[in-house]
Structure 1
Amino acid sequence: MPEAVQRFRCEDDARAALLAAARELRAGGTAGSASLSLRWSRSAAAGMLTVGAPVAATATVDAVAWVPLDGGAERTAVADTGLPPDWRLHRGLLGRRGRISAIVRSRPVSCMAIACSAQLRKTGIPAFHPDDATGDAAGIRCAQPTGLDCATLVDQVEEALGERAACLLAGEGLVTIGPTLDAAVAAVATVETLAEVWWRLLQAGHGEVHGVAI
């Protein structure tokens, strides 16, 4: 069982943690229309808890939706008031990646700027900083969806993530993952800082930073 599930005493505690994380993102100005999910199984049924940040602002734990990972019971899930529009992306990633327990999709400003630029999203955020723990030698890539099909979107986000904790999503913003909810939330601030610094370096002109050409 994933660590993130074990550290909550009950489902209501996990729901409350999701709401608190969503409110934290909104307070920090990095949420936009963020959505969050946390792996949470009921008996033998693998599933996830998920909520959208706009709903979380005034919601109680009852508004957090539970969705099975096997694709069943979609009608029941859609009836939950806190279910974010992109819940299928969360379900697809959690279903494929057994080692992660949480996902955050957010729209921090600098990440959005890069993800919405037809030119900049081709390279994403290069590995210009040696302490970047969310990427690798290739930096933080940008998934570039070619259609609205959910399975295709999950494929493209998976490819962009690779072994990283984050990727940009073209025209949208940022996707972060983690072994715990805290890790996935913390990665949002880390990547947004990198995105902001990279954006400022681009504005400053040509040069080189740790071997990366600007």
Structure 2
Amino acid sequence: MVGTESFFIRTSGCNLRCWFCDTPYASWHPEGQVMAIDALVDRVHGEGPSHVVLTGGEPLLPAAAVNLSQALMDAGFHLTIETAGTIDKPIACDLLSLSPKLGGSAPDPGEHPRWNRLHEERRLPLETMQRLIHAARDFQVKFVVNDQRQFDEAAEIAEALDVKGGNVFIMPQGTTLVELDRAESWLRPLTESVGYHYCDRMQIRWYGNRRGT
């Protein structure tokens, strides 16, 4: 829920390369410090929030992802995992936030031919996504949409995954208030007309397009 106080754990490293990635320090140029799982759990305890969001990069990519998620669950935290759904691991969480990458999300083939190819090969393993959904206590499927074509594609993927409207969230692509307002004028009515949830990019409205949001 928007506004719920949460502790974010961002893993470094990603197996995709979306052109619009807003965390290049966790994908194109991965950085960060190495921390033991026990130390991470202690850090969360020290900060206070009972909700934890495990995100990335791609949080299912690290070898310790399963152990980390289980440790957080065992410690009594409400855990949300934000994933592109391309990696199948027996992951424990309260809420799976699955974000399939749509066509047109790959990096420029001229500048990044290898990553363009890998991105397209990896971005939409429907069977893997279905297994993750079925294993989750609760789930949502979130699509970042830039135009009508992508909205239609998102609806097709939701149908292929057998996901009902109440579990589908549509988020506009954009990094400025002007872009978000322009997108909302046509995308919100369309989204709500088919029973999906419109998910604005509130972190940009509150803090701007900057690191740490």
TM-score (norm: length of structure 2) = 0.28
Which structure carries more relative contact order (alpha carbon 8 Å, separation 6+)? 1
TM-score (norm: length of structure 1) = 0.28
